[in-house]
Amino acid sequence: MSAGTLRPGGRTARVREAVREATLAELGEKGFEGLTVESVARRSGVHKTTVYRRWGSVEGLAADALDLAGGEPWPVPDTGTVEGDLRELTRLVLTGFTDPATGSIPTAFISAAMRDPVVAKALRDFFAARHRQSAPIVERAVARGELPEGTDAADVVRTAVAPLYYRLFISGEPVDETVADRAAATALAAARAGAFVTPA
Amino acid sequence: MSAGTLRPGGRTARVREAVREATLAELGEKGFEGLTVESVARRSGVHKTTVYRRWGSVEGLAADALDLAGGEPWPVPDTGTVEGDLRELTRLVLTGFTDPATGSIPTAFISAAMRDPVVAKALRDFFAARHRQSAPIVERAVARGELPEGTDAADVVRTAVAPLYYRLFISGEPVDETVADRAAATALAAARAGAFVTPA
């Protein structure tokens, strides 16, 4: 679903959406190194001077695309069990990086955030939103009696997804469904053992 | 300890060590963006043409510094319990990033690896070495009966350190001793529950 359909019409919203889609497409094809204001203007059909005036730079374009992405609906898993939900969650992250059409986009954002503070801020906000959006997985599990009261939802989510990001961006090791499933199982085992309950 | 003291003398070894120390110092002060062959030559006292001929580029300098770093002795914790060892391990990683004098060096390597395949390869090798060097923590724990037979050592280590890297480089959240200790406790709880034993 595109953000445009969520926002009531308006020329400004349409221009923003066109620029954002063009930014994502360019990032997917060329990475952050290949992103230029000119190519986004050409692809979006929005005049270059407008793009410069409103977004300022490639960093501004990347940050705005991230900002909109963070506000979009996201298919938070709801399988009926915390085990199923965490497995779905780690597979969503995996697919986000391995999808042939869009897999290079998150990599471009993370790479851009490492060298630009405006993109870094947008990425922080994006992940904070994802952590909030994923919290119901843990809250439902606590309500069902699957996890201890007081389990920190964000920490369960961080633990489930961190090994995937660690392999992709730090140790440079491969990721696949086996890795994703083990990361989910690890977070679940630790959560069941009470590792995410802050001592009183 | 410097790599120079490990290698028997020789002019080549001394030049390599001087260049490597200068590379690390420059990375610590200016990051990968600020690294130049000229500044490394000036700082090391090695002639610029020699540096160019032997290392080729800033990427070559960064990769070689990482290569030597991976081969250096590393204080693998040995506290007598797996709980203590994992806590020491995550605190070592934390200190590696928060030390005022050297904390920006690992960040520079990770940033450089994201944009250059030669540095990326050197970083992969570096982390593979660290995983191997840390394996005794888990092997001793299995021998002491603290963890189940067949526990995957590298996976315990990845799980212990991944949340720190995730916060530092992906979600952009703060890290401190509480975060490090919880990451260690999480890996331990999951390991005790058998999450890192591959099913037969």
Q: Do the Cβ atoms of A155 and B182 come within 8 Å?
A: yes
Whether A25 has a pLDDT exceeding 50, the answer reads: yes
> How far off is chain B from A10, nearest CA to CA, in Å?
33
Whether B147 has a pLDDT exceeding 50, the answer reads: yes
Q: How confident is the model at residue B8, as a pLDDT?
A: 57
Q: How confident is the model at residue A164, as a pLDDT?
A: 98
Q: In chain B, where are the structural domains located?
A: 3-58, 82-192
Query: Distance between CA B155 and CA B131 in Å, rounded?
Result: 9
Q: Provide the 8-state DSSP code for A197.
A: B
pLDDT of A32-51, one tens digit each?
889 999 999 999 999 999 99
Q: Do the Cβ atoms of B189 and A185 come within 8 Å?
A: no
pLDDT (average), residues A141-153: 98
Q: Which residues of A138-165 are buried (b: 16+ CB within 10 A; e: fewer)?
A: bebbbeeebbeeebbbbbbbbbbbbbbb
Mutate one of A83, A167, A171, A188 to test the B interface: name it (highest B CB count within 10 A): A171
Identify the CATH class of A82-192.
Answer: mainly alpha
Whether B7 has a pLDDT exceeding 60, the answer reads: no
Mapping DSSP to helix (H, G, I), strand (E, B) and coil, where does residue A155 land? Answer: helix
Mapping DSSP to helix (H, G, I), strand (E, B) and coil, where does residue B152 land? Answer: coil
Mapping DSSP to helix (H, G, I), strand (E, B) and coil, where does residue B102 land? Answer: coil
* Cβ neighbours of A75 (radius 10 Å): 9
Q: Do the Cβ atoms of B170 and A110 come within 8 Å?
A: yes
Identify the CATH class of A3-58.
Answer: mainly alpha
pLDDT (average), residues B28-48: 94
- Nearest residue on chain B to A199, alpha-carbon basis: B182
pLDDT (average), residues A191-200: 90
Residue A186 contacts residue A95 (beta carbons within 8 Å): no
What is the residue-averaged pLDDT of chain B?
92
Q: How confident is the model at residue A8, as a pLDDT?
A: 58
Mutate one of B167, B171, B181, B182 to test the A interface: name it (highest A CB count within 10 A): B171
Mutate one of A126, A166, A179, A198 to test the B interface: name it (highest B CB count within 10 A): A166
Residue A71, CA atoms < 13 Å, CB-side half-sphere: 12
* Among the partner residues B123, B161, B189, nearest to A190 by beta-carbon distance: B189
* Among the partner residues A110, A128, A166, nearest to B158 by beta-carbon distance: A166
Confidence of residue A198 (pLDDT cuts 50, 70, 90): confident
Q: How confident is the model at residue A4, as a pLDDT?
A: 42
Among residues of chain B, what percentage have pLDDT more than 70?
95
Residue positions counted in chain A: 200
pLDDT of A47-82, one tens digit each?
999 999 999 999 999 999 998 887 777 889 999 999
Query: Distance between CA B45 and CA B188 in Å, rounded?
Result: 47
Q: What is the dihedral of CA B140, B146, B148, B150, to 10 degrees?
A: -10
pTM recorded for the entire structure:
0.91
Structure tokens at B86: 């994992």
DSSP states of A130-149: HHHHHHHHHHHHHHTTSS-T
Q: Do the Cβ atoms of A165 and B166 come within 8 Å?
A: yes
pLDDT (average), residues A111-139: 94
Place of tokens 């299995």: B142
* Cβ neighbours of A131 (radius 10 Å): 18
Which one has a higher pLDDT value, B200 or A14?
Answer: A14
Q: How confident is the model at residue A115, as a pLDDT?
A: 84
Confidence of residue A5 (pLDDT cuts 50, 70, 90): very low
Q: How confident is the model at residue A2, as a pLDDT?
A: 44
Place of tokens 């059909």: A45
Query: Distance between CA B87 and CA B185 in Å, rounded?
Result: 8
What is the residue-averaged pLDDT of chain A?
92
Q: How confident is the model at residue A71, as a pLDDT?
A: 77
Q: How confident is the model at residue A200, as a pLDDT?
A: 67
The set of residues, in sequence order, having a beta carbon less than 8 Å from that of A5 and lying 6+ positions away, is none
Question: Do B82-192 and B3-58 have the same topology in CATH?
Answer: no
* Among the partner residues A128, A169, A173, nearest to B169 by beta-carbon distance: A169
pLDDT (average), residues B81-96: 97
- Nearest residue on chain A to B189, alpha-carbon basis: A190
State in Å, rounded, how far the first CA of chain A is from the last one.
Answer: 43
Q: Do the Cβ atoms of A111 and B115 come within 8 Å?
A: yes
Q: Do the Cβ atoms of B115 and A120 come within 8 Å?
A: no
* Among the partner residues B114, B124, B162, nearest to A162 by beta-carbon distance: B162
Residue B183 contacts residue B163 (beta carbons within 8 Å): yes
pLDDT of B14-23, one tens digit each?
999 999 999 9
Which one has a higher pLDDT value, A67 or B148?
Answer: B148
